[in-house]
Amino acid sequence: MDRVTLRGLRARGHHGVFERERIEGQTFVVDLVLYLDTRPAASGDDLSRTAHYGIVAEEVTAIISGEPVDLIETLAQRIADQCLKHQAVEEVEVTVHKPDAPITVPFDDVTITIHRSRG
């Protein structure tokens, strides 16, 4: 499988279990790896036979800024489900970063990474 990678997609969302997170919101960052066969697109130089990463990026940021969920696990699953709706995408790896998570000790980042495939 070939890979198309998008790193650092950012949007403000209101996800989290705490009221403050739901009211104030925070920035979420998403990294994606789309697994697909790029040979059909390359052989015909045809965008319609690959994953249009500009559209994928817009869809992902819309999910981040859309309907709130409690868990970043749920957010990651919604993003994976959307990516797999693209015909060329066979598998996807989604990493959701929550750098402003409400943790009381110093930290750099909180992430979840999931890997999903068709079927």
User: What residues are labeled active site?
Assistant: 98
* Spatial separation of the C-alpha atoms in residues 15 and 119, rounded to whole Å: 28
* Spatial separation of the C-alpha atoms in residues 66 and 81, rounded to whole Å: 15
* Spatial separation of the C-alpha atoms in residues 56 and 51, rounded to whole Å: 8
* Spatial separation of the C-alpha atoms in residues 55 and 110, rounded to whole Å: 26
Give burial (CB, 10 Å; 0-12/13-18/19+) of 79. Answer: buried
